[in-house]
Amino acid sequence: MELKLATAEKQVLEELVKLVQSRGLCGENGGWKEFLDAKDIKKIGSPNDPSKRSHEELVAFLTTFKKKQDLQVLKCHANFLLIEKLEQESPGNDTPEQSLVRLTVEHPAYSVDYSFEPHSEDWFVSDVGMKTSKVMESTEMVAVDCEMVLCDDGTEGLVRVGIVDRDLKVILDEFVKPDKPVVDYRTDITGITAEDIEKATLSLVDIQETLQPFLSNGAILVGHSLNKDLEVLKIDHPKVIDTALVFKYSNARKPRRASLNNLCKSILGYEVRKAGVSHDCVNDATAAMKLALAVIEKRANTTIPPSEEMLEVEKAKLFIHKIPHNVTSEELEQVLSGEFTLDVKPAKTSRGCYCAFVVFRSSKEADQAFENVDGDQGQDSFGLPQKLVVFKLTSGSRVSIYVRKMVEDGSA
Name the strand (E) or helix (H) holding 188: helix 187-190
Q: Are the C-beta atoms of residues 99 and 208 closer than 8 Å to each other?
A: no
In terms of pLDDT, which residue wins out, 118 or 15?
15
pLDDT tens for residues 328-354? 999 999 999 999 999 998 887 777 899
Confidence of residue 403 (pLDDT cuts 50, 70, 90): very high
- Specify the CATH class of 309-405 in words: alpha beta
Check residue 118 and give its pLDDT: 76
pLDDT, mean of residues 143-153:
94
How far apart are the C-alpha atoms of 220 and 99, rounded to whole Å? 12
Ordered by start, the domain boundaries in the chain are 10-66, 97-304, 309-405
Strand partners, 220: 141
What is the torsion angle, in degrees rounded to the nearest 10, for the CA atoms of residue 11, residue 12, residue 16 and residue 19?
70
Question: Rounded to whole angstroms, how far apart are CA atoms 382 and 116?
Answer: 37
Q: Which helix (H) or strand (E) holds 76?
A: helix 68-88
Question: In 236-299, where does DSSP find H-type helix?
Answer: 243-246, 260-263, 281-298
* DSSP output for 355-410: EEEEEESSHHHHHHHHHH--SEEEE-TTS-EEEEEEEE-TTS-EEEEEEEESS-TT
3-7, 97-101, 232-236, 345-349, range with the lowest pLDDT? 3-7
**Is the Cα torsion angle 144, 150, 156, 159 positive or negative in sign?**
negative
- Determine the residue type at 259: S
Task: Assign domain 97-304 one CATH number from 3.90.950.10, 3.40.50.720, 1.10.275.10, 3.30.420.10.
Answer: 3.30.420.10
pLDDT score recorded for residue 1? 47
The reported pTM is 0.80
- The residues with which 303 forms a beta bridge, in sequence order, are 248
**For residues 205 and 93, what is the distance between their CA atoms, to the nearest angstrom?**
37
Question: What pLDDT shows up at residue 410?
Answer: 62
- Cβ-proximal residues to 394 (8 Å cutoff; 6+ apart), any chain: 331
Residue 324 CB partners (closer than 8 Å, separation 6+): 353, 399, 401
Residues 6+ apart with CB under 8 A from 333: 342
Are 223 and 86 in contact by the 8 Å Cβ rule? The answer is no
State pLDDT tens for residues 49-92: 899 899 999 999 999 999 999 999 999 999 999 999 989 988 99
Strand partners, 27: 30
252-295 pLDDT tens trace: 666 678 889 989 999 999 988 777 677 899 999 999 999 999 99
Torsion of CA 262, 266, 268, 269, to 10 degrees: 100
Q: How far apart are CA 336 and CA 373, in angstroms?
A: 6
Residues 6+ apart with CB under 8 A from 186: 148, 149, 150, 192
Exposure on the CB side of residue 71, measured as CA atoms within 13 A: 19
The per-residue pLDDT for 40 is 65
* pLDDT value, residue 3: 47
- pLDDT tier, 383 (very low <50, low <70, confident <90, very high otherwise): confident
CA distances from 114 to 105, 109, 127, 221, 328 (A): 9, 8, 16, 13, 40
Are 146 and 232 in contact by the 8 Å Cβ rule? The answer is: yes
The CA distance from 184 to 146, in Å, is 16
